[in-house]
A and B are shown apart, each in its own frame.
Chain A
């Protein structure tokens, strides 16, 4: 290796007759400099300094990176401070690290075990929630009722604008698509049936459930996750208060009560949204409303209402569950919020499919 310009860090290698590699380092070594590359073969290395003017931790870091695996490393010719800097890194061992490489099979196995235990924790949380509700009914649970009224406000009333907007647009889009198709067979009057029935049975509840997941689940996961980080849930346990009863039950109850009301509101607004498109097309307001009211039966209303109760429960539970198992870090809280929304929406869609099968069996 050739000499670098004066002042710049350099390293050159020479292999002696006995097989020992002698590495000479010199120049000025600074954190901002590009350091020399070196290839040393063999298991005996002696490092010497030549014209070594100045160095910071870049030189010991370079020596540590290049020679830490060499079997016989001789640093005795280096300045004592440099020797100690390299030896400090080599010798600094603490017994509390247990790192080991994991193979693919072990990683797969770990993933399997963690996934199954995650499902186990989810069912356990559902069980705790059910027990919490039962204890609340018999008056034995310690429930934070001030949280309950606050959640009625934040998960219910505060959600009205976004529910109205999305409900209105959903009705509008359905009416628009329906109008185009039904016009081809001269049955545009049935746009009102399509919109009102779809909103009542399906879309009102589904859209509200999804909004609750995006809005409320994530908020609950963040709140409870942050409480986990700051050990507030541990403090509750230490006081003999069950965090599920105290924190999750009022939230789940509030959302389970508010989502059906929001769903009814979304349905009403959705039907109005459909009316605007339908009336801009071929129908009069009177025609549309008469047809819409005729299409909605009590059974259809009941189907949508029952679904919205379930969706409200799922959205709130997903947030509380993911928050309660969040890792104790900022990253963990973020992950909890994301996974709460994903879990809630997935469960809502799955349960919607199950409802479709069940209601079909009972001719609802």
Chain B
């Protein structure tokens, strides 16, 4: 994998809370259209890394680029343009509770697109239909289930046809059937739109189904414990810690 083909990179990245570094020496280069899963024990900094990769938090050191643009150096219109090319699904879905699902999807479109109101409505309806919520467009987030909220969150993340979407524990709290459907949805959306996906997950079966690459964050060393296709993490030659994490989580 060469850096030239990468849509998302990080070089010597250091992340943490406040001034406390929890992970450093992180180096990644993710090709466009691929799915990257970030895994590791609870509290190791998976979500923090995702937020740093997406430009939501400033890293404590190093550099992250999206489509060749340094996220932390970008300012003004350039930063706004690059943020527009990203979509986020937060752990709790983070839907705006006072807006219906359709209005939630329309909101970023109204802010960023110059298209007429009717077309924005069409787009929002289409995006909701893509995630199977065509019949729930006028519901409020409080009136839908957790699985539906996750799908609505994905529809909002996909609102502006982003180049990269970041999914923070998309299948957390879902039953295995809903989790499986969500995996299928992520794969279908990736295939149809060519979107690059970065996801944080604890669900090893889900990661094995969806991810092209996987990064294991090792809290003991404070850096990446392994990086590569997730199936290789199951092989005996892998680091014992990573192998144990994958196999135990898989069969527990």
Interface residue ranges, A against B (CB under 8 Å): 31-35, 56-58, 60-62, 64-65, 81, 84-85, 88-90, 92-94, 96-99, 327-332, 334
* Pick from B97, B148, B181, B188: contact of A331, CB under 8 Å: B97
Q: Kindly list chain B residues whose C-beta atoms are within 8 Å of the C-beta of A96.
A: 145, 147-148
Query: 7 closest Cβ contacts across the A-B interface?
Result: A61-B126, A329-B97, A89-B129, A65-B122, A94-B132, A99-B135, A92-B132
Please, how many angstroms separate the alpha-carbon atoms of A203 and B161 in the complex?
61
The answer to whether A88 touches B160, judged by C-beta atoms less than 8 angstroms apart, is no
The answer to whether A97 touches B129, judged by C-beta atoms less than 8 angstroms apart, is no
Please, how many angstroms separate the alpha-carbon atoms of A332 and B141 in the complex?
11
The answer to whether B119 touches A99, judged by C-beta atoms less than 8 angstroms apart, is no
- How many whole Å from B93's CB to the nearest CB in chain A? 11
Within 8 A of A (CB), among B153-177: 158, 160-161
The answer to whether B115 touches A97, judged by C-beta atoms less than 8 angstroms apart, is no
- B130, CB-defined interface residue at 8 Å: yes
Give per-residue flags for B123-139: 1 if the beta carbon is below 8 A from chain A beta carbons, else 0.
10111011111111011
- How many whole Å from B48's CB to the nearest CB in chain A? 22
Please, how many angstroms separate the alpha-carbon atoms of A6 and B140 in the complex?
42
Residue of B with least CB distance to A82: B192
Q: Kindly list chain B residues whose C-beta atoms are within 8 Å of the C-beta of A331.
A: 97-98, 140, 142
A sample of 28 inter-chain contacts (CB < 8 A) reads: A31-B123, A31-B160, A32-B113, A34-B115, A35-B115, A58-B123, A61-B126, A61-B127, A62-B119, A64-B126, A81-B192, A84-B191, A89-B129, A92-B129, A92-B130, A92-B132, A92-B134, A92-B185, A96-B148, A97-B133, A97-B136, A328-B142, A329-B97, A331-B97, A331-B140, A331-B142, A332-B142, A334-B98
Given A32-B115, A332-B97: A94 and B126 interface contact (C-beta under 8 Å): no
Residue of B with least CB distance to A35: B119
Within 8 A of A (CB), among B8-36: none
Q: Kindly list chain B residues whose C-beta atoms are within 8 Å of the C-beta of A85.
A: 192-193
Q: Kindly list chain B residues whose C-beta atoms are within 8 Å of the C-beta of A92.
A: 129-132, 134, 185
The answer to whether B142 touches A99, judged by C-beta atoms less than 8 angstroms apart, is no
- How many whole Å from A348's CB to the nearest CB in chain B? 29
| Other 12 A-B pairs with CB < 8 A, given A61-B126, A329-B142, A330-B97 | A31-B113, A32-B113, A57-B127, A65-B122, A92-B132, A94-B132, A94-B148, A94-B151, A99-B138, A327-B142, A331-B97, A331-B142
Q: Kindly list chain A residues whose C-beta atoms are within 8 Å of the C-beta of B192.
A: 81, 84-85, 88
Please, how many angstroms separate the alpha-carbon atoms of A94 and B145 in the complex?
12
Q: Kindly list chain B residues whose C-beta atoms are within 8 Å of the C-beta of A328.
A: 142
- B76, CB-defined interface residue at 8 Å: no
- The secondary structure that dominates the B interface is helix
Within 8 A of A (CB), among B189-223: 191-193
The answer to whether A94 touches B122, judged by C-beta atoms less than 8 angstroms apart, is no
The answer to whether B139 touches A94, judged by C-beta atoms less than 8 angstroms apart, is no
Please, how many angstroms separate the alpha-carbon atoms of A61 and B133 in the complex?
14
* Pick from B115, B132, B185: contact of A93, CB under 8 Å: B132
Interface residue ranges, B against A (CB under 8 Å): 97-98, 109, 113-116, 119, 122-123, 125-127, 129-136, 138-142, 145, 147-148, 151, 158, 160-161, 181, 185, 188, 191-193
Residue of B with least CB distance to A98: B135
Given A85-B192, A94-B181: A57 and B131 interface contact (C-beta under 8 Å): no
- How many whole Å from B152's CB to the nearest CB in chain A? 11
Q: Kindly list chain B residues whose C-beta atoms are within 8 Å of the C-beta of A81.
A: 192
The answer to whether B188 touches A88, judged by C-beta atoms less than 8 angstroms apart, is yes
Please, how many angstroms separate the alpha-carbon atoms of A15 and B132 in the complex?
33
The answer to whether B145 touches A90, judged by C-beta atoms less than 8 angstroms apart, is no
The answer to whether B160 touches A60, judged by C-beta atoms less than 8 angstroms apart, is no
- How many whole Å from B249's CB to the nearest CB in chain A? 26
The answer to whether A31 touches B115, judged by C-beta atoms less than 8 angstroms apart, is yes
Q: Kindly list chain B residues whose C-beta atoms are within 8 Å of the C-beta of A93.
A: 132
Q: Kindly list chain A residues whose C-beta atoms are within 8 Å of the C-beta of B131.
A: 92
The answer to whether B141 touches A329, judged by C-beta atoms less than 8 angstroms apart, is yes
Given A85-B192, A89-B130: A61 and B135 interface contact (C-beta under 8 Å): no
The answer to whether A57 touches B193, judged by C-beta atoms less than 8 angstroms apart, is yes
The answer to whether A90 touches B129, judged by C-beta atoms less than 8 angstroms apart, is yes
- How many whole Å from B24's CB to the nearest CB in chain A? 33
Q: Kindly list chain B residues whose C-beta atoms are within 8 Å of the C-beta of A98.
A: 135
Please, how many angstroms separate the alpha-carbon atoms of A60 and B116 in the complex?
17
Q: Kindly list chain A residues whose C-beta atoms are within 8 Å of the C-beta of B138.
A: 99
- How many whole Å from B193's CB to the nearest CB in chain A? 7
Given A65-B126, A85-B192, A99-B136: A58 and B142 interface contact (C-beta under 8 Å): no
The answer to whether A58 touches B98, judged by C-beta atoms less than 8 angstroms apart, is no
Q: Kindly list chain B residues whose C-beta atoms are within 8 Å of the C-beta of A57.
A: 123, 126-127, 158, 161, 193
Residue of B with least CB distance to A90: B129
The answer to whether A34 touches B119, judged by C-beta atoms less than 8 angstroms apart, is yes
Please, how many angstroms separate the alpha-carbon atoms of A61 and B160 in the complex?
12
Q: Which of B138, B139, B192 has the most CB of A within 10 A?
A: B192
